[in-house]
Every structure is written in C-alpha cells, then in structure tokens.
Structure 1
Amino acid sequence: MRQVRVTKMVELDYQNASTNKQIPSEQQCLDWLNQFLPEFQSLSELTVRIVDEDESQMLNHQYRDKAKPTNVLSFPAEVPPFITEEMEFPLLGDLIICSQVVNQEAQEQNKSFDAHWAHMLLHGSLHLLGYDHVEDEEAQEMESLEIEILQKMGFPNPYNDQ
C-alpha cells in the first residue's frame, strides 16, 4: 500500500503590492505560518497581501471606518459549508499587511524586523481563526497565546515594554 505524505500544511497566496523593499519573502511568511497554523488545523489556505499605506488606509476606512493605515487587516473567508467540504485546503481568509506601518512600529518599539512581521502574521491569522481582542478577557487570551507561540518560534514577548 502506497502512503501519501502531506508536506505542505499551509497553502499561501503571497501578493506583494508594496513599493517597500524591506518586506519578508514569500518563503519566510510560509515558514512562519507553518510553525503555528497546523496547531489549529492541519491544513490551511490563506492570502497574505503586502500593501503600501494608501491601500491600507482605503481598506481600513472602507471596512473599519478608520481614516488611517493600519498594520494588519484580517478578512475571514465566508465560504458556504457545501463548498468547504469539496476544497482540498480549508480556506481561512485574507491578511492585508501594510509594510510601512509594520516596519515603523518595529523601529519605534525596538523590535527586530523578523519578530514584528512574524507577530503580525500570527496576530492576523488568529483573527482569521476567530480570536479577538475587543473585550479585556479576549485580549488577555489572545495576547497570552501570541506570546506562547512566538516564544516557541524563537521570538521574544511582543508586549514587553508597551
């Protein structure tokens, strides 16, 4: 009997729409995502779109009624259940990450480029998985989970000194 081994746990649609040269590569993003997403579901599919401030601000205004760019926006997939059953990978949704905002935050917060980008991918992915931080209890749960996962990935606590 032949065994099929799944080597890809995350199917990533990586879109670079940014003029910024200091962004993580598709492989870096995929490596980071593969370090934590399989803990939540064995197979995942998502889009990561890296944008500039104009696109981030437009989307943030359109969907959150905030007239400024933001670090990461999460758009969970809304796929009917009968379609989900036929898909090879469970579709999580889309992450829109603003390169200028993330890089500026990393610099202002004295964080490494890799640590902050990995955190934004994790933070956005947790939103796609249903986590939120509107209420204090939810925020505490989400932050604790982020700290734990980032430490497993070799990154420091992102909430120190904030």
Structure 2
Amino acid sequence: MIVDLIIEDARWQALGLADLAERACGAALAEESVAGAEISLLACDDARIAALNEAFRGKPAPTNVLSWPSEERAAGTPGGQPRTPVDLELGDIAIAYDTCAREAAAAGRGLADHVAHLLVHGTLHLLGYDHIDEEDAALMEGIEVKVLGKLGISDPYGDTGEDRPVVWKD
C-alpha cells in the first residue's frame, strides 16, 4: 500500500502524518483484503478544504475530511457490500488540520487518534462505503470501530449517550 502524501500545512509534520496515514489507511485496506492499493492524501488547512468542499460539493465551509474515489464502488442496496476495486489507484483524500484539531479537543480525544479515525473513514469512502442511510452508516461505522480497535484506538462512537454521534459534516 502506498500513501502519496502532499503536506500543504506544516502543522501536520509534527503529528507524524506520513506514518499515521500508512498505519490507518493500511489497516482499513487490510480489513477489506485490498492489497497493492495507492491513495493520494492532501494534508491541508480549513481554508483549502473549504474551497474544495465548495468546488466539489457546493458547501462553502470547512469540513474534516473529503474523499474522491477513482471509480464508483457503492453497493447496489443499502447496507450491502461495495464492489471490489478494479483500479488500485483508489482515489484522493483531503484532511484539514484546523477542523480535526477542534473536533479532537471538543471530544477529549488525542489528535492522532481522531486523525486515524478520519483516515480510516476516508479510506472506506474510497472503497465504496457511505453513511447516507442507516444501513450503510451502521456497516461503515462497524468496520471503522473494528479497524480502530486493531490499531489500539477506542470506539469513537461509544460512551456518548447518543445512538449515532454526529462526526461527519457531509
């Protein structure tokens, strides 16, 4: 697995994002039995991700993570398994330092753990998973929790007092 990392915001350097991305993205891909894949990762700030969010989704605001799969892999039915990747250049992920840092602080989580979660989340989007409806969200979140557990990171959805905490700004 290769993560092609472009760091536009130097604050990501202190987090050791290159190693963190290899571990988090690699764990998600291993869980889905995808070998030999390539992911492009843009590590940016809120201004850059807000521009991307507006350009691609019509939402002129920052968000934590965005993903662009290289091909359509979504399942045909809610809660179904996405299609196996044909193109092993899976696509692109962008992640914003400012939003990630705010969210981690608000949740009382370490920044590295929160970023690992978002990278697993983004990688699953590249593999065709989504969280638009309840069945898809339950499937995706279950995989996230399993992968994060293998990385030694606690369940980001547990112990919140809510059925499904709002983590994603999609």
TM-score computed with the length of structure 1 as normaliser? 0.83
1:93 aligns with 2:86: no
Choose which of 62, 74, 79 in structure 1 pairs with 2:67: 74
Q: Which has the higher contact order (CA 8 A, sep 6+)?
A: 2
Q: Please report how far the alpha carbon of residue 43 of structure 1 lies from its aligned counterpart in structure 2 after TM superposition.
A: 1.5
Moved more, 30-39 or 65-74: 30-39
Moved more, 19-28 or 96-105: 19-28
4+ aligned runs moved over 4 Å, structure 1? none
Pairs aligned (count):
146
Equivalent position amino acid for 1:45 in 2: E
1:91-113 Cα distance to aligned partner (Å, 9 max, x none) = 10000000110111000011111
TM-score computed with the length of structure 2 as normaliser? 0.79
1:9-28 alignment runs, 5 A limit: 10-21=1-12, 22-28=14-20
Describe the shift of the 1:137–1:157 C-alpha distance in structure 2 as closer, same or farther (beyond 3 A): same
Runs (5+) with no aligned partner, structure 2: 73-84, 166-170
Structure-1 residue corresponding to 2:146? 148
Distance 1:146 1:11 in 2: 20
SS in 1 for 2:98: helix
Moved more, 132-141 or 17-26: 17-26
Structure-2 residue corresponding to 1:103? 101
1:88-145 Cα distance to aligned partner (Å, 9 max, x none) = x811000000011011100001111121011000000000000000011111111111
Q: Please report how far the alpha carbon of residue 31 of structure 1 lies from its aligned counterpart in structure 2 after TM superposition.
A: 2.3
Percent of paired sites with the same residue: 32
1:10-49 alignment runs, 5 A limit: 10-21=1-12, 22-40=14-32, 41-49=34-42
Distance 2:10 2:36 in 1: 31
Structure-1 residue corresponding to 2:78? none
Q: Please report how far the alpha carbon of residue 58 of structure 1 lies from its aligned counterpart in structure 2 after TM superposition.
A: 0.5
Distance 1:67 1:35 in 2: 32
1:52-78 Cα distance to aligned partner (Å, 9 max, x none) = 111100110111111110000001114
User: RMSD across aligned C-alpha pairs, in angstroms?
Assistant: 2.0
1:23-82 Cα distance to aligned partner (Å, 9 max, x none) = 433122112222231232122101111011111001101111111100000011149xxx
Choose which of 142, 155, 169 in structure 2 pairs with 1:157: 155
SS in 2 for 1:73: strand
Distance 2:97 2:16 in 1: 9
